[in-house]
Amino acid sequence: MPSLIQTSTEVAEALATNQAVVALESTIITHGMPYPQNLETALRVEETVREQGAVPATIAMVDGIGRAGLVRAELETLAKLGPQVTKCSRRDIPYLISQKKHGATTVAATMILAAKAGISIFATGGIGGVHPGVADTWDISADLQELAQTNVAVVCAGAKSILDLPKTLEYLETVGVPVIGYQTEEFPAFFTRRSGLKVEINLNSPSDIARLLRAKWDFGLQGGVLVANPIPLASEPDYAHLEKAIKTAQAQAQEQRIQGKALTPFLLDRIEKETQGESLKANIQLVLNNARLAAKIARAYAQL
Ligand code: PSU
Ligand code: MN
């Protein structure tokens, strides 16, 4: 068996010299956006992290090896293969290792590999959560259980209203995950800054967030932290239009009995097509915004 995780030379050096490193996921590349926007965005996100003085580490399974820090050709391969690449959450890791396959890591799997590589801060778009109709379907993303147990901070723009947001927040409360509103008192709902749901921890600076992370992990509390960073005002799309697309996508999923790991990618794809790229534009902007904040938090964290 090869070593558990292969870290690129650049990422390994940055970690060894206590420089800021930001983990990035790969399901967003393969299942979250179409080609070529997925590749362009992956590259821009890495560039944004660098502009803020941190080192990006895009995470994926490549030929069955967990990797932190991909080269451009590898990003290109994943972006072009898109949904043909296995969507890899916690439970898929052993299969992909033993079969030497590629895997696009979800928030959950990215957290696992980031923690193994020694990376504490991770930027993404939106997390998975509790789906509406959970009482019948039992569909709760493995991302939530991962946040409960793995020591990585996840910077996101909240979660899409494809999820039951109140139940998602209840779940996070039950499993003891601090949810931080960055410069907001409301939990943002991905495409919109508002959800009507309060977050109890409001922090206004990256260094305040870094100190909370230190406090949690120094105290020996296992698990992650969710940093909710609202989409920039200027990038907020017309929400009524999007909400309609989300409802349509959910109805189609029900009609076609889409379930399990296929559901979230199905909804994302349908919303993208229904809004003719309007959602994609906003999605790209909020991911860049999250990468910027994550890099600032990683720098503040490295200085503590
Ligand atoms: N939500 C989004 N965009 C995404 C995802 C979720 O708005 O790209 C991806 C992330 O990788 C997340 C995963 O971890 O989907 C959750 O999938 P599931 O609901 O099957 O756990
Ligand atoms: Mn699910």
In the residue annotation, 261 being an active-site residue is answered as no
Please, what is the Cα angle at 212 between 210 and 215, to 5 degrees? Answer: 110
Q: Which long-range contacts (CB under 8 A, 24 or more apart) does 199-205 make?
A: 199/169, 199/228, 205/300
Distance separating alpha carbons of residues 275 and 280, to the nearest angstrom: 8
Q: Whose CA is nearest to atom 20 of ligand 1?
A: 261
**What pLDDT is stored for residue 276 in this prediction?**
84
Mean pLDDT, rounded, for 157-172 = 96
Residue 3 has pLDDT above 80, yes or no: no
* Backbone Cα Rg of the chain: 18
**Beta pairing, strands 103-105 & 153-156:** unpaired
Q: Ligand 1, from 127, 131, 144, 191: best to mutate by most atoms within 8 Å of Cβ?
A: 127
Q: Is the CB of 264 under 6 A from ligand 1?
A: yes
Q: Is the CB of 141 under 6 A from ligand 1?
A: yes
Amino acid letter for position 154 = V
Encode burial over 7-42: b for 16+ CB neighbours within 10 A, e otherwise: bbeebbebbeeebbbbbbbbbbbbbbbeeebbbebb
Ligand nearest to the CA of 108: 1
Other residues' Cβ atoms within 10 Å of the Cβ of residue 232: 15
Ligand nearest to the CA of 145: 1
Distance separating alpha carbons of residues 45 and 65, to the nearest angstrom: 23
pLDDT tens digits for 256-298? Answer: 999 999 999 999 999 999 998 899 999 999 999 999 999 999 9
**What pLDDT is stored for residue 129 in this prediction?**
98
pTM (two decimals): 0.98
Residue 76 has pLDDT above 60, yes or no: yes
Cα→Cα distances 84→79, 165, 199, Å: 10, 29, 37
Cβ atoms 273, 246 nearer than 8 A: no
Cβ atoms 225, 213 nearer than 8 A: yes
Mean pLDDT, rounded, for 97-106 = 98
**What pLDDT is stored for residue 277 in this prediction?**
87
Distance separating alpha carbons of residues 239 and 288, to the nearest angstrom: 20
**What pLDDT is stored for residue 230 in this prediction?**
98
Q: What is the four-CA torsion angle of 136, 142, 144, 148, rounded to 10 degrees? A: 130
Predicted confidence band of residue 161 (pLDDT cuts 50, 70, 90): confident
Tokens, residue 92? 């898929």
Determine which one of 46, 87, 160, 261 is catalytic.
Answer: 160
Residue 223 vs residue 240, higher pLDDT: 223
pLDDT > 90: what percent of the chain? 96
Cβ atoms 106, 88 nearer than 8 A: yes
- Counting from 1 in the atom list of ligand 1, the atom nearest the Cα of 159 is 7
Determine which one of 25, 46, 186, 274 is catalytic.
Answer: 25
**What pLDDT is stored for residue 239 in this prediction?**
86
Q: Whose CA is nearest to atom 1 of ligand 1?
A: 126
Residue 138 has pLDDT above 60, yes or no: yes
Amino acid letter for position 8 = S
Distance 134 CA to ligand 2 centre (A): 10
Residues with CB under 5 A from ligand 2 (ion): 139
Distance 119 CA to ligand 2 centre (A): 26
Q: Whose CA is nearest to atom 7 of ligand 1?
A: 126
Cβ atoms 5, 23 nearer than 8 A: no
Residue 2 has pLDDT above 70, yes or no: no
pLDDT > 70: what percent of the chain? 99
Which H or E run includes 154?
strand 153-156
Average pLDDT, the chain: 96
In the residue annotation, 25 being an active-site residue is answered as yes
Q: Is the CB of 41 under 6 A from ligand 1?
A: no
Residue 1 has pLDDT above 50, yes or no: no
Mean pLDDT, rounded, for 27-32 = 96
Residue 86 has pLDDT above 70, yes or no: yes
